[in-house]
Amino acid sequence: MKGKAKTGLLVAALLITISATAQPEVLHKSTLLTPVNSFTSGVEGPAVDSKGNLYAVNYERQGTIGQVKPDGTATVWLVLPEGSIANGIRINSKGQLVLADYTKHNVWKVDPRTKKISLLAHEPRMNQPNDLAIDNKDRIYASDPNWKNGTGQLWRIDPNGTTHLLDTMGTTNGVEVSPDNKKLYVGESLQRKIWVYDLATDGSVKNKQLFYEFTDHGLDGMRCDQMGNLYVTRFGKGTILLLAPDGTKLEEITLMGKRPTNIAFGGPDGRTAYVTMQDQGNVEQFRVEFPGREFKGGNKQTSK
């Protein structure tokens, strides 16, 4: 047998062996990313920058923003002004972190390179800005619950800081924009409902419809993947419910803890889900089929 032919057969045999022994990727199996109690019970608002760094609120103590690097190293990345405690975090097209400060009725903007914090909006009419979503024009949508009264509001904050009350409803919590920027999802925790609006190009909403209703347990944050599937945290049940764009239940993913508060997507391919856990004071992670809605296909941005 000639040398080239023999080499070709050896390569082919090796590829067949590798193919036969390769194990399929395990999806939807949750593991610990950070140790239990590395965050406080106020852990919330996960968001991932383009370098793959994960941010979440209240690392080690209240009033901080923690950063978890891709290698798992976690630190206090930012300390907020005295009296401010954040909840939701989003990252805009400039790589700036946008924070919902629920104690001071503020929305902050943070430069990731200098860590300089500036006020994007202050709205005294807010109950407590909670979860955030962001569209393709850097407009922020904020849930604003009043837990005592079982009511809530839905706001839009434009890039220039102007605030717009979009709706009054039940106990607003999780909020998310669809991948095509044509739908806005809003969850009501105490009412156990998810609503969907038509989202116009000017950021206004209309045609509110019931998207999904639960019969038990609560719900908190939610995020879409790039296919438009909606991942919903089931607070108290310890699961993530996966819903198709038409509201069909696809799967329910079991977590290690029982009180997930929010979810974000990251990793080198955007297919790792990170879930903040109130009862454990930490972050869990699992792999999913499709990248998160906001994943841009590369981890290039630098931040301290």
pLDDT in tens, 30-44: 999 999 999 999 999
How many Å apart are CA 177 and CA 186, to the nearest integer? 9
Neighbours of 32 (CB within 10 A): 16
Neighbours of 75 (CB within 10 A): 11
Neighbours of 21 (CB within 10 A): 7
Q: So what's the pLDDT on residue 304?
A: 42
Q: So what's the pLDDT on residue 155?
A: 98
How many Å apart are CA 104 and CA 106, to the nearest integer? 5
Residue type, 49: D
CB 55 within 8 A of CB 97: yes
How many Å apart are CA 284 and CA 67, to the nearest integer? 14
Residues shown for the chain = 304
Tens of pLDDT along the chain (304 residues)? Answer: 555 445 444 444 444 444 445 578 999 999 999 999 999 999 999 999 999 999 999 999 999 999 999 988 999 999 999 999 999 999 999 999 999 999 999 999 999 999 999 999 999 999 999 999 999 999 999 999 999 999 999 999 999 999 999 999 999 999 999 999 999 999 999 999 999 999 999 999 999 999 999 999 999 999 999 999 999 999 999 999 999 999 999 999 999 999 999 999 999 999 999 999 999 999 999 999 999 999 986 444 334 4
pLDDT in tens, 169-210: 999 999 999 999 999 999 999 999 999 999 999 999 999 999
Parallel, antiparallel, or unpaired: how do β-strands 172-177 and 86-91 relate?
unpaired
H or E stretch including 108? strand 106-110
pTM of structure:
0.90
pLDDT in tens, 154-170: 999 999 999 999 999 99
